[in-house]
Amino acid sequence: MLLAIDIGNTNFTCGVFDGEKIVTTFRLTTKEKRTSDEYGIWFCSLVENRGIKREEIRDVIISSVVPDVMHSLVNSMIKYFNCKPLIVGTGVKTGIRIVTANPKEIGADRVVDAVAAYEIYGGPVLVMDFGTATTYDLITAEGEFIAGVTSPGIGISANALRNEAAKLPRIEIKKPDSILARETVSSMQAGLVYGAIGQTEYIVKKMISEAIATGQLRNVTAEQVVLVATGGLGRIIAEGSELPIRYDTMLTLLGLWHIYKKNR
């Protein structure tokens, strides 16, 4: 079995694959610092709680945008699972060619999402990840990662409202019944969610139209670009948008599996 781990700024997203099938998933909080032994005990307990023996984990793949956790985590995989993890980074085969100005600046999470979207849905594809930050990445039919946009995540915007305005409360992020809000909570929800939907639709249309106009997307129409969303709040945006956005909650884990397959 394969243990796939994606380390984001907020959470570890983890999945166990038996062949091509995801048999279980779980999450850990990123911001708590742990030793290699703590990570090892956590992961052993989590997989064994799902009915999987630690000896059944034969390989590990990790993508990370949080360098500080990597030393302890990698050591925990070696000590507790007897596996030297495959780390997504320079020299790892992905099937995606990054043609931006500085390819090394593209985060591993974005590469993994791009791989999954291209392998599953084909190209051209525009993949959106609604996590701590919201990212928009455009991949051509030839598998070229040509552009990416980064904006504050919806959660960051919600926290900024609460922290910077003394009378605004902490709220649940959800789409209200109407944009015509009549009280504070639904007013904030409307601004955050409808604002994110509007931002998404504008950025998506602008990225695609400019890529076509400049010849970076060739021999395609805007309607032929597949739109895929993932991340914790991606479903709200996908369901609320007028664009034909597909929501795939397992996109990142599937991207890790595809990268593992190309390298092992």
Residue 264 falls within a domain, yes or no? Answer: no
* Both structure tokens of 244: 């034909």
Q: 161 and 116: one domain?
A: yes
Beta pairing, strands 133-139 & 125-130:
antiparallel
* Both structure tokens of 218: 């060739």
Residue 261 falls within a domain, yes or no? Answer: no
Asked whether residue 232 carries a pLDDT value surpassing 90, the answer given is no
Segment 57-76 shows an average pLDDT of 95
For 197-261, give the secondary structure using H, E and C.
HHHHHHHHHHHHHHHHHCCCCCCCCHHHCEEEEECCCHHHHHHHCCCCEEECCCHHHHHHHHHHH
Position 38 scores a pLDDT of 93
Q: What is the total count of domains within the chain? A: 2
Q: 9 and 74: one domain?
A: yes
Residues 109, 113, 129, 248: which is the catalytic one? 109
Residue 82 falls within a domain, yes or no? Answer: yes
Does residue 201 or residue 233 have the better pLDDT? 201
Residue 176 falls within a domain, yes or no? Answer: yes
Position 167 scores a pLDDT of 84
Segment 77-106 shows an average pLDDT of 93
Residue 134 falls within a domain, yes or no? Answer: yes
Separation of alpha carbons 151 and 164, rounded Å? 19
- For residue 41, the enclosing domain spans 2-87
Position 138 scores a pLDDT of 98
Q: 117 and 83: one domain?
A: no
| Residue entry with tokens 């504008």 | 202
Q: Do 5 and 73 meet the contact criterion of CB atoms below 8 Å apart?
A: yes
Position 48 scores a pLDDT of 94
Segment 166-180 shows an average pLDDT of 91
Separation of alpha carbons 45 and 59, rounded Å? 17
pLDDT digits (tens, 9 = 90+) for 105-159: 899 999 999 999 999 999 999 999 998 899 999 999 999 999 999 999 999 999 9
Helix (H, G, I), strand (E, B) or coil at 25: strand
DSSP class of residue 83 equals: -
pLDDT digits (tens, 9 = 90+) for 9-45: 888 999 999 999 999 999 988 877 789 999 999 999 9
Segment 209-220 shows an average pLDDT of 96
Asked whether residue 96 carries a pLDDT value surpassing 90, the answer given is yes
Q: 32 and 83: one domain?
A: yes
Asked whether residue 224 carries a pLDDT value surpassing 80, the answer given is yes
Asked whether residue 254 carries a pLDDT value surpassing 80, the answer given is yes
Secondary-structure breakdown of the chain: helix, strand, coil percentages, each rounded to the nearest 5: 45, 25, 35
Residue 139 falls within a domain, yes or no? Answer: yes
User: What's 21's domain CATH number?
Assistant: 3.30.420.40
DSSP class of residue 169 equals: P
Asked whether residue 240 carries a pLDDT value surpassing 90, the answer given is yes
Q: 116 and 188: one domain?
A: yes
Q: 75 and 182: one domain?
A: no
Q: 165 and 66: one domain?
A: no
Q: 236 and 160: one domain?
A: yes
Q: What's the mean per-residue pLDDT of the chain?
A: 94
Residue 250 falls within a domain, yes or no? Answer: yes
pTM for this structure? 0.92
Q: 43 and 163: one domain?
A: no
Residue 92 falls within a domain, yes or no? Answer: no
Q: 57 and 120: one domain?
A: no
Active site residue 109: yes
CA-based end-to-end distance of the chain: 13
Query: What is the layout of strands, in order, in the sheet containing 2-7?
Result: 21-29, 11-18, 2-7, 59-64, 86-87
Q: Do 138 and 148 meet the contact criterion of CB atoms below 8 Å apart?
A: yes
Q: Confidence band (pLDDT; 50, 70, 90) for 213? A: very high
Asked whether residue 177 carries a pLDDT value surpassing 80, the answer given is yes
Query: Among residues 27, 62, 87, which one ends one of the domains?
Result: 87
Share of the chain above pLDDT 90, in %: 86
Q: 101 and 186: one domain?
A: yes
Position 36 scores a pLDDT of 95
Q: Do 52 and 23 meet the contact criterion of CB atoms below 8 Å apart?
A: yes
Q: 18 and 48: one domain?
A: yes
